[in-house]
Chains A and B, each alone.
Chain A
């Protein structure tokens, strides 16, 4: 849904010096625009206002403010504001504009070296979130941007993050996140009410790395049963990466398959260990 231009005009009117350059992406109840403000480029995020959107926006802004990490998108100079257009309320704020490409539209497979960089940078983001008591819960290619300037990676869309010290943002009776990138822990949480930790995000990182290296989703591709993505996440053991890409370094394959373990305790218990293992992979 691209929001009507008159709406943008209202925001520009309310914030002197803000100029809309063009749309970045839109979907559902949200759209993002490239804008300039006080001589800098930013992303303007606009959401149709409702209780959940407001909570989500506040959460995202809070995390962006608390986590000072180059691998997480940063908050911009305009705080959360509300505008009423023809009786419909919208929320908006500015965040860092990432000049680059989202990994869901990036060509795949990517090089081993680039995938390792992606792994290391997203580890850094997960680590920062966890040290602040947060779990992202929606790591997927569409939420990872590769910066054009230096091929570094940034994790976006922190609005679904679970705050372990606060109330959980959860649809009633449902699972939060994107179905194909849910971890087994997120699915089991609904039934067993177990606490999530950063290892849930590590599972999603494993899915992203597998997908970036092979071009296929580990648990949802033509070579695996496609009856039910949830069932596959809970029980299907992914095929070795070398079945799709036979020059994959064994150590890299081992790391990715470990991230995809069904039980959190079999994934890395320390992010630092994962960083060390990724750093030690000998690339062809």
Chain B
């Protein structure tokens, strides 16, 4: 599975270095955070990177339907419409125009894939889902009429709550698996904006089922804002997942596109492939205190600074270093989960989850405490999600 950089505000040299140093192999670009001319030149620059990275452009049309959205640079794009409501998609002519303009914009960039515009579906059965399907169908029809070999990925953004309805997920899959697209770009609009790896087990199992089913039908699957859950998505054959450097680029929530309430700068974090989680640097200090730094460290090339000579929080740790380290830590797990079958990979990840849980227990026994999102709670849900999937499907 490939890991992509989820582009956003404050990119600096993070993405360029990530590509150069092979910790990411592609980028999902965000027009919210670049003006059209800057986007065009940035894509051209990225396309020259060694190895020809995968470059995808998320049109982010869904932002227009978010109440009081902070739309950033999006209104500067000609395909984007402000303050859209579902009623604006009633006329097929409007849908076709939006589709045409958003695909035409991408067509002229040096992208590896084309992404269809979409809106966020609150459930798999309501009107927003119907509009999303119409946008998908119109995008396929429009792209099929263009002489261009690049794959079209149909975008779907759905609320996490939608995953709670097993039958609706099945019906939705029955429908979209017949679409004549090359693949799908999938985003889950998480219930809470806070950053954590937690994913309620039944919903996680449904998400894994979606990826598994679509992959069996030979679609290319790219998941956005998928962070550590890429480890699970890789087991069910997702082709690529993405994550970024801020919490809002690691976990998708519509709050990303709402005005910031301000507040202090987020605390520095450390991504541990052993804990399959991101913890505060100060929590890594505590691990060092109990002689467990080596057990928790990811041992990526970016870990050299954490040699145990001084506290991790005392090490110079730029946001760029943190981003590269984060990508490298996730990539490391993705590379090591390499069983040839889906069942084999799910079992391998289950074993890694058990090992991480044991490490958490050991740290807790030694007196290390973690803030709730940085603790082991997600691991139990992940294990249960995997077990549910295995019970439900003939894998």
Q: Mark B200-218, 1 if CB is under 8 A from A, else 0.
A: 0000000000000100111
Q: Does A270 contact B (CB under 8 A)?
A: yes
How would residues 232 to 275 of chain B score, 1 for a CB under 8 Å from any chain A CB and 0 otherwise?
00000000000000000000000000000000000000000000
0/1 interface trace, chain B 113-130, chain A, CB 8 Å (1 if under): 000000000000000000
The smallest C-beta distance from B331 to any residue of chain A, in angstroms, reads 30
Q: Is B38 an interface residue (CB 8 A)?
A: no
B394–A270 CB distance below 8 A: no
Beyond the given pairs A265-B213, A273-B218, 5 more chain A to chain B contacts, judged by CB atoms under 8 angstroms and listed by A's residue number, are A194-B171, A258-B216, A261-B394, A263-B174, A273-B217
Q: Known contacts A268-B217, A270-B218: does B178 contact A197 (CB below 8 Å)?
A: yes
B28 to chain A, nearest CB (A): 25
Interface, chain A (partner B; CB < 8 A): 192, 194, 197, 199, 237, 257-258, 261, 263-266, 268-270, 273
B393 at the interface (CB under 8 A from A): yes
Query: Top 10 A-B pairs ranked by shortest CB distance?
Result: A269-B217, A265-B173, A265-B177, A269-B177, A264-B174, A265-B174, A265-B213, A263-B170, A266-B213, A273-B218
Chain B residues near A273 (CB, 8 Å)? Answer: 217-218
5 A-B pairs with CB atoms under 8 Å apart are A199-B174, A263-B213, A265-B173, A266-B393, A268-B217
Which residue of B is nearest A268, CB measured? Answer: B217
Interface size on B, residues (CB 8 A): 12
* Smallest CB separation, B167 vs chain A (Å): 8
Chain B residue numbers with a CB within 8 Å of A258 are 216
0 or 1 for each of B158-192: is its CB under 8 Å from A? (1 = yes): 00000000000011011001100000000000000
List residues of chain A with CB within 8 A of the CB of B174: 194, 199, 263-265
Tell me how far the C-beta of B236 lies from the nearest C-beta in chain A, rounded to whole angstroms. Answer: 13
Residues of A within 8 A of B173 (CB): 263, 265
Residue picked from B171, B177, B178, B213, most chain A C-beta under 10 Å: B177
Given contacts A194-B171, A194-B174, A197-B178, contact A265 B394 (CB under 8 A): no
**Cβ A270 vs Cβ B217 within 8 A:** yes
Residue with the greatest number of chain B CB neighbours at <10 A, chosen from A257, A258, A263: A263
Nearest-neighbor residue (CB-CB) of B216 within chain A: A266
CB distance from A259 to the nearest CB of B (A): 12
Q: Which residues on A sit within 8 Å (CB–CB) of B217? A: 265, 268-270, 273
Find chain A residues with CB under 8 A from B178 CB: 197, 269
Shortest CB-to-CB span from B51 to chain A, Å, is: 30
Closest to B212 in A: A266
Q: Which residues from B are CB-within-8-Å of A237?
A: 394
Residues from chain B with a CB closer than 8 A to the CB of A199 are 174
Residues of B within 8 A of A257 (CB): 394
Residues in B with CB closer than 8 Å to A270 are 217-218
Q: Which B residue sits closest to A198, measured CB to CB?
A: B178
By beta carbon, the residue of chain A nearest B217 is A269
Residues of B within 8 A of A269 (CB): 177-178, 217-218
Which residues of the partner chain B approach A261 to less than 8 Å between Cβ atoms? 394
**What residues of B have a CB within 8 angstroms of the CB of A194 in the complex?**
171, 174
- Of A257, A264, A270, the most chain B CB neighbours within 10 A belong to A264
For B394, the chain A residues whose CB sits under 8 A away are 237, 257, 261
Residues of A within 8 A of B177 (CB): 264-265, 269
Residue among A237, A261, A265 with the most chain B CB within 10 A? Answer: A265
Say how far B204's CB is from chain A's closest CB, in angstroms: 18
Kindly state the separation between the CA atoms of A258 and B217 in the bound complex, as whole angstroms: 11
Please name all residues of chain B whose beta carbon is closer than 8 Å to the beta carbon of A268 when the two chains form the complex.
217
Q: Which residues of B contact A264 (CB under 8 A)?
A: 174, 177
Q: With the chains together, A197 CA to B178 CA distance in Å?
A: 9
CB distance from A49 to the nearest CB of B (A): 38
CA distance A273 to B214 in the complex (A): 13
Q: How far is the CA of A15 from the CA of B217 in the complex (A)?
A: 51
Residues of chain A within 8 A of B171, CB atoms compared: 192, 194
